[in-house]
């Protein structure tokens, strides 16, 4: 579903992502872990076609994002680490705006908005302006808007930040259900316990370079993911 | 602690000025030059006003009235200029809660924020009151004592303004507990401001003549009704230290009282819930729109939700209506008010239409539209829509918002002034071509000079390089050729309207060429933003 080949991204002289390669298959939940400034968000933004990259290739369902960005974006749902949304719209108007942009039919959007707004307990707040939402409510709205077009690949940057325990549980369940239906999920997180329990595969990035990748069991071995991560950090330090 | 807070506040004020030119050095220099020109023009305009007053009032033995009027003008401008700042700095500042959670006295937070208001007011005083002193010094001998009292009197003036701007700022903050009411309140405030400005600007010569003719009764009225301004005038004109002292007390006592009152209640004011009334969600039937329509609608909704955007970027539309309605009611006498020379071999309707076209070049809706995506830029970048469509929606919203004004102004011109087919076509096509050009040119320039690192939208709307360049460009590409064409038209007598229609065609062609340029590699350019 997502193939990243030798991805390189530079900001001036600084190499933010250095020759990174990953392959995420349909039905997999792939966790992306790294310290602050490791290159996680840069990689995620390149995958979603939000920022350009200097070297390598990114394929979504076999299609290069460079060659067909619009086709690729139709299959992707992206949620940024900080859900800055159009705060001058109400929640429902924002969702309808996204549905229009993704060309979702009237009946499909109504059904999906109802389903996911109920799931994340946001229905009663949909008529209120986004500017009145808390961080968690904005995160929930961003999640609903990401699900509105039934994406094949979900790319999430720190999706659990700001969510209450119930919404967090619902999201984890939803991620598992989506993967069962052939979707792929690639997400970054600092919450290693979540990654350990949720992910089929894990990649650890440090200073733009991929240092470890494999199934969750392979990566953590007999210890915890936290210990592996701290060990790797110590080694490099 | 207070010193550090003041330093941070003033630094952020300085940064907001520095942000104007973005990061490119040549743009910074260009913007600095443009700003210097604008400030110089304001200084010169004030100076011209005082020049007319100075000699006449001095010869009537009313020197104190001259300085009192300088004080009154500066007071009004400071008040109008700082009310909104009082709201945003004192009551709506985003970091208020953070600062109040720290071991900092509320009074220190308040005083540091008031320093920003005082600095802004000193800036206005430099532009409005200083010319009064300069004009007087150019015509009469100035003693050291007189100059010193002048400096002290105007240095104290911002403290006289402060309590009143704080009161109005608090009123706006109070209205902000309901978002819709806040927008309406701010819009109304700006419209009033604009109305006062227009009245003042168009009738300034009449007012000056009236002041000179009725100096004595006016002086008596000011002395009776506005004692602080009499004291300013008297202190400077008669070098009277007692008047200066009373005036300082007039400014200081309310200021100290207001600081004490607000600082005592600052926590309470800040902690009062500003949550807007909840709206109950009821599922409604929605109509699916195309991506282009949805994006255009979003742009229009955004424009209408921001009074600051409406008043700054849409000011040309309001001026357009004011001009056409005033011309229809007042007839040709409006030309002399506007300073248009008499005897132009040009239909009155066409002359008004050229004025409307001038107003249309001041519509700046599209010029900051890319920058205004700000932190939400990830949304248009991540959606499966070509950048060309996103940019086209910004152009379309500019045109869609302006079109009703263009049509109404054309209809009023047709009904009120009539004319040949060429003249009627000019009433509609000249403003429209100018609007279309401004819409496309604004987006082209904003793509070249985007600004996403703003904290307050006002920076993108009022102070960005994109807006200033678009404004200067529209003036250069539309108004300058138009003046040249009118001159040529006058030489060729009856050809004016034909030439103007040809000019419209050229503007449409140039707009299309600019749009084609914008479309070229739009996806790559948009991703690179």
B21 band by pLDDT with thresholds 50, 70 and 90: low
Residue A216 has pLDDT above 80, yes or no: yes
Q: How many angstroms separate the CA atoms of A151 and A161, rounded?
A: 21
CA terminus-to-terminus distance, chain B: 40
Q: How many angstroms separate the CA atoms of B85 and B75, rounded?
A: 15
Interface touch B384/A70, C-beta < 8 Å: yes
The string of pLDDT tens digits covering residues B399-451 is 999 999 999 999 999 998 888 888 899 899 999 999 999 999 999 999 988 88
A196 band by pLDDT with thresholds 50, 70 and 90: confident
Q: How many angstroms separate the CA atoms of A142 and A79, rounded?
A: 6
The pLDDT, as a whole number, for residue B20 is: 55
Q: How many angstroms separate the CA atoms of B172 and B183, rounded?
A: 10
Closest-CA residue of A relative to B523 is: A69
The residues on B that touch A, with CB distances below 8 Å, are 179, 275-276, 278-283, 286-291, 293-295, 297-298, 301-302, 305-306, 374-376, 378-379, 381-386, 523-524, 527-528
Please list every residue in chain A whose beta carbon sits closer than 8 Å to the beta carbon of residue B379: 85-86
Interface touch B383/A49, C-beta < 8 Å: no
Residue B239 has pLDDT above 80, yes or no: yes
Residue B291 has pLDDT above 90, yes or no: yes
**Most A CBs within 10 Å: which of B294, B303, B310, B529, as the mutation test of the A interface?**
B294
The pLDDT, as a whole number, for residue B46 is: 86
Residue B275 has pLDDT above 60, yes or no: no
Interface touch B382/A73, C-beta < 8 Å: yes
The string of pLDDT tens digits covering residues A11-50 is 888 888 888 999 998 889 999 988 888 889 999 999 998 8
Interface touch B279/A106, C-beta < 8 Å: no
Strand partners, A210: A205
Count Cβ atoms below 10 Å from residue B256 Cβ, excluding itself: 12
**Residue located via tokens 């719209």:** A89
CB A44 within 8 A of CB A32: yes
B354 band by pLDDT with thresholds 50, 70 and 90: confident
Chain B nearest C-alpha distance from A18 (Å): 19
Give pTM, 2 decimals: 0.78
Count Cβ atoms below 10 Å from residue A82 Cβ, excluding itself: 15
The distance of Cα B277 from the centroid of its chain, to the nearest Å, equals 31
The string of pLDDT tens digits covering residues B507-521 is 999 999 999 999 988
Which of A91-100, B24-33, B70-79, B235-244 has the weakest average pLDDT? B24-33
Q: ipTM of the assembly? A: 0.90
B41 band by pLDDT with thresholds 50, 70 and 90: confident
Average pLDDT across chain B, whole number: 84
The pLDDT, as a whole number, for residue B177 is: 60
Q: How many angstroms separate the CA atoms of A189 and B190, rounded?
A: 47
Interface touch B302/A86, C-beta < 8 Å: yes
Count Cβ atoms below 10 Å from residue B264 Cβ, excluding itself: 12
CB B404 within 8 A of CB B428: no
Percent of chain B exceeding pLDDT 90 equals: 25
Strand partners, A11: A14
The string of pLDDT tens digits covering residues B134-144 is 998 888 888 88
């Amino acid at each position: 579903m997502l193939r990243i080949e030798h991805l390189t991204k530079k900001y001036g002289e600084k190499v933010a992502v250095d020759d990174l390669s990953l392959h995420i298959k349909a039905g997999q939940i792939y966790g992306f872990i790294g310290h602050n400034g490791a290159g996680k968000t840069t990689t995620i933004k390149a995958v979603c076609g939000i920022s350009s990259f200097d070297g390598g290739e990114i394929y979504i369902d076999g299609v290069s994002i460079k060659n067909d960005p619009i086709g690729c974006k139709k299959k992707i749902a992206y949620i940024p680490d900080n859900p800055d949304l159009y705060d001058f719209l109400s929640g429902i108007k924002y969702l309808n705006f996204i549905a229009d942009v993704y060309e979702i039919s009237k009946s499909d959007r109504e059904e999906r908005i109802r389903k996911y707004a109920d799931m994340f307990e946001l229905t009663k707040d949909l008529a209120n302006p986004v500017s009145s939402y808390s961080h968690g409510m904005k995160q929930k709205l961003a999640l609903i808007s990401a699900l509105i077009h039934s994406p094949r690949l979900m790319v999430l940057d720190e999706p659990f930040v700001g969510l209450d325990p119930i919404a967090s549980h619902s999201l984890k369940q939803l991620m598992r259900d989506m993967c069962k239906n052939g979707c792929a999920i690639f997400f970054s997180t600092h919450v290693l316990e979540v990654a350990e329990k949720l992910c089929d595969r894990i990649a650890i990035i440090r200073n733009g370079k991929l240092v470890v990748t494999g199934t969750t069991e392979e990566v953590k071995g007999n210890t915890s993911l936290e210990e592996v991560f701290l060990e790797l950090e110590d080694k490099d330090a | 602690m207070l010193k550090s807070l003041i330093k941070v506040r003033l630094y952020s004020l300085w940064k907001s000025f520095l942000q104007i030119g973005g990061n490119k050095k040549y743009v910074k220099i260009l913007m600095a030059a443009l700003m210097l020109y604008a400030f110089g023009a304001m200084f010169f305009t004030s100076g011209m006003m005082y020049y007319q007053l100075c000699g006449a009032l001095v010869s009537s033995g009313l020197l104190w009235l001259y300085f009192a009027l300088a004080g009154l003008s500066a007071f009004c401008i400071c008040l109008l200029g700082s009310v909104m700042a009082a709201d945003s700095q004192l009551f709506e500042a985003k970091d208020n809660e953070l600062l109040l959670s720290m071991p900092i006295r509320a009074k220190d937070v308040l005083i540091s924020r008031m320093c920003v208001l005082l600095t802004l007011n000193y800036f206005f005083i430099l532009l409005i009151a200083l010319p009064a002193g300069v004009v007087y010094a150019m015509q009469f001998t100035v003693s050291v004592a007189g100059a010193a009292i002048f400096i002290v009197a105007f240095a104290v003036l911002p403290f006289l303004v402060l309590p009143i701007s704080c009161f109005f700022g608090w009123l706006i903050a109070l209205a902000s507990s309901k978002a819709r009411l806040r927008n309406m309140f701010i819009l109304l405030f700006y419209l009033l401001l604009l109305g006062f400005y227009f009245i003042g600007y168009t009738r300034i010569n009449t007012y000056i003549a009236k002041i000179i003719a009725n100096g004595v009764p006016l002086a008596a009225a000011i002395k009776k009704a506005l004692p602080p301004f009499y004291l300013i005038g008297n202190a400077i004109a008669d070098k009277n230290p007692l008047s200066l002292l009373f005036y300082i007390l007039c400014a200081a006592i309310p200021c100290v009282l207001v600081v004490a009152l607000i600082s005592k209640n600052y926590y309470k004011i800040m902690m009062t819930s500003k949550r807007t009334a909840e709206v109950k969600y009821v599922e409604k039937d929605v109509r699916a729109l195309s991506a282009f329509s949805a994006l255009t609608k979003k742009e229009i909704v955004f424009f209408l939700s921001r009074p600051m955007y409406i008043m700054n970027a849409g000011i040309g539309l309001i001026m357009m209506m004011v001009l056409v309605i005033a011309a229809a009611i007042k007839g040709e006498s409006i030309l002399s008010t506007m300073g248009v020379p008499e005897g132009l071999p040009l239909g009155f309707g066409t002359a008004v239409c050229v004025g409307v076209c001038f107003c249309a070049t001041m519509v700046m809706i599209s010029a900051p539209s890319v920058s205004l995506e700000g932190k939400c830029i990830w949304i248009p970048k991540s959606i499966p829509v070509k950048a060309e469509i996103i940019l086209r929606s910004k152009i379309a919203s500019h045109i869609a918002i302006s079109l009703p004004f263009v049509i109404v102004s054309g209809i009023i011109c047709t009904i009120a002034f009539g004319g040949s087919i060429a003249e009627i076509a000019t009433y509609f096509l000249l403003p429209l071509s100018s609007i279309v050009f401004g819409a496309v040119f604004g987006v082209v320039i904003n793509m070249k000079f985007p600004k996403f690192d703003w904290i307050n939208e006002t920076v993108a709307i009022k102070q960005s390089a994109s807006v200033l360049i678009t404004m200067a460009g529209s003036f250069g590409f539309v108004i300058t050729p138009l003046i040249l064409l009118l001159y040529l038209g006058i030489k060729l007598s009856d050809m004016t309207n034909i030439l103007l229609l040809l000019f419209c065609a050229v503007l449409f062609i140039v707009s299309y060429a600019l749009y084609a340029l914008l479309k070229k590699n739009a996806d790559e350019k948009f991703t690179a933003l």
